[in-house]
Amino acid sequence: MKILAIEVAVPAVAGSAFTPDLLQAEARHAWALYQAGLLRELYFRADQQAAVLMLECSSVDEARQVLATLPLVAAGLIASMALIEWVQRTVSRYHPLAFEEAARNALAEGDQALAVNICMGNLHYAKNRFPSYGLCRLLRARGYFGLGERDKAFEDLVAAERYWRTWHRRADASERAELKELATEMAMAALGSGEADTALQLVSLAGTGSGAPLACLTELRDKLSPQMRANIWPDEELLLVENFARTGEPRLETWAERTGRTVDSECVDAPPQAPGDSGRGMRLTASPATQNGMSWYSVPFFMPVPETPCRFRAVLDVNAGRPPRLQLGHSYPATGQGGTTFGEPPVQLANGQYTAEVLLPGHDPVGAPDYVVRIGFALPSEACEFVIRRIELLSGQGAIAGSDGQK
């Protein structure tokens, strides 16, 4: 491990004690340690006469032994090197393989601020390159929530869920259960503060982050009182899959483009019109197709196909051309193949908006595993422009019962 050592002077030692012979011996010994691979870097502080060493040793004890061999230390002219053990403990706890234990210990001891600090250190250290990114955001959300910083906790929960939505194999069942538990607790707190829209978003995070959204929706519905259910779901019970609330949302991903057209997408402001609207939406603008072919765009998602039917619904503002159809992308790990479930033609509502829905039939429990891994839009061939307000997940067959959606 790398260990940082900072020189601490002995009080009342005269400068004349540092004789040329001792200083030369110190320099020669430092050079020998460098050649041996024990001393990696050596600096001098600008604000005072003190050395700063970076050692590479197997333990703090070995580092102490190495430092004790320095002539100035042996002569009692400097008080060894301070902060060795402290720096070792502080820096190492940020490592992706070590931060979890340190953060959980801090949370268990009620030191929420320390847990947040440890997670921040890990995020700076790992730069989002490690599979622990989602867990780190989840643990930091717990810390922030304990400190009463609900907005920051919410942002971290969203980030964890989004990461595991894309990299779904990097979250195990216990981590998903922990996200579900925290999101539910935060939803209850939001309800208690009269923030029904925030509660809906948190309930949705609990569902989509759990890995079993429909089961979570049923569990929450049974747990909540009728008044709570009415506050969260004034119209119908659902989970928000996407409402583009976060700034810096990625554009829609290209699923399949074979038409030679130009397509652009960006997040735009969109005044809320219904519960679940965030005030933002994803606008997609497409030029006319120049040849026949698929023109499909999607957002990532992850859900094992449940045994009972469910449906996805997108709410759209259509500015030009026809609205797109909704469809689902599947992954079949047993065969390494994929598939598609196609939706029904969009329907225009009384307020001028459109809804596009797709029915997902129940999965045979004895069949091979089947996962929904993307929610897509099949564009019409003519030029079009539309804004996706939100994507919802609902249980049951609903208004599109009898859909002949195909895989």
* Cα maximum dimension of the chain: 95
Helices 196-210 and 150-166 cross at an angle (nearest 10°) of 30
CATH architecture of 2-90: 2-Layer Sandwich (3.30)
Residue 394 pLDDT > 90, yes or no? yes
What residue type is assigned to position 338 of the chain?
G
Contact 283, 351 (CB under 8 A): no
Residue 401: pLDDT band by 50, 70, 90 thresholds?
A: very low
Q: What average pLDDT does the structure give for the chain?
A: 88
What residue type is assigned to position 54 of the chain?
M
Average the pLDDT over 68-79 and give the result.
Answer: 82
Structure tokens at 20: 């040329």
Average the pLDDT over 226-233 and give the result.
Answer: 93
What residue type is assigned to position 229 of the chain?
R
Q: How far apart are CA 21 and CA 77, in angstroms?
A: 14
Average the pLDDT over 367-379 and give the result.
Answer: 92
> For residue range 62-71, what is the model confidence (pLDDT) as tens digits?
888 888 898 8
Q: How far apart are CA 108 and CA 164, in angstroms?
A: 25
Percentage above 90 pLDDT, the chain: 59
Q: How far apart are CA 184 and CA 174, in angstroms?
A: 15
Average the pLDDT over 140-155 and give the result.
Answer: 97
Residue 283: pLDDT band by 50, 70, 90 thresholds?
A: very high
Residue 403 pLDDT > 70, yes or no? no
Q: How many CB atoms lie within 10 A of CB 37?
A: 10
Average the pLDDT over 84-98 and give the result.
Answer: 63
> For residue range 105-119, what is the model confidence (pLDDT) as tens digits?
999 999 999 999 999
Contact 86, 2 (CB under 8 A): no
pLDDT at 406: 39
Average the pLDDT over 381-402 and give the result.
Answer: 80
**Domain edges within the chain:** 2-90, 109-239, 253-400
Q: How many CB atoms lie within 10 A of CB 230?
A: 12
What separation in angstroms does the CA of 9 have from each of 5, 343, 380? 13, 75, 76
Q: How many CB atoms lie within 10 A of CB 332?
A: 15
> For residue range 292-331, what is the model confidence (pLDDT) as tens digits?
999 999 999 999 999 899 999 999 999 999 999 999 999 9
Residue 86 pLDDT > 80, yes or no? no
Question: CA nearest 338: which of 348, 347, 346, 328?
Answer: 328
> For residue range 157-204, what is the model confidence (pLDDT) as tens digits?
999 999 998 888 899 999 999 999 999 999 999 999 999 999 999 999
pTM of the model: 0.75
Counting Cα atoms < 13 Å in the Cβ hemisphere of 342 gives 11
Contact 295, 257 (CB under 8 A): yes
> If DSSP states are collapsed to H, E and C, what string results for the chain?
CEEEEEEEECCCCCHHHCCHHHHHHHHHHHHHHHHCCCEEEEEECCCCCCEEEEEECCCHHHHHHHHHCCHHHHCCCEEEEECHHHHHHHHHCCCCCCHHHHHHHHHHCCCHHHHHHHHHHHHHHHCCCCCCHHHHHHHHHHHHHHCCCHHHHHHHHHHHHHHHHHCHHHCCHHHHHHHHHHHHHHHHHHHHCCCHHHHHHHHHHHHHHHCCHHHHHHHHHHHCCHHHHHHHCCCCCCEEEECCCCCCCCCCEEEEECCCCCEEEEEEECCCCCCCCCCEEEEEEECCCCCCCCEEEEEEEEEECCCCCEEEEEEEEEEECCCCEEEEEEEECCCCEEEEEECCCCEECCCCCEEEEEEECCCCCCCCCCEEEEEEEECCCCCEEEEEEEEEEEECCHHHCCCCCCC
φ/ψ bin of 267: left (φ > 0), alpha (ψ from -120 to 50), beta (otherwise): beta
Structure tokens at 157: 């929960």
CATH topology of domain 109-239: 1.25.40
Q: How far apart are CA 34 and CA 99, in angstroms?
A: 30
Identify the residue with better confidence: 248 or 103.
103
CATH topology of domain 253-400: Jelly Rolls (2.60.120)
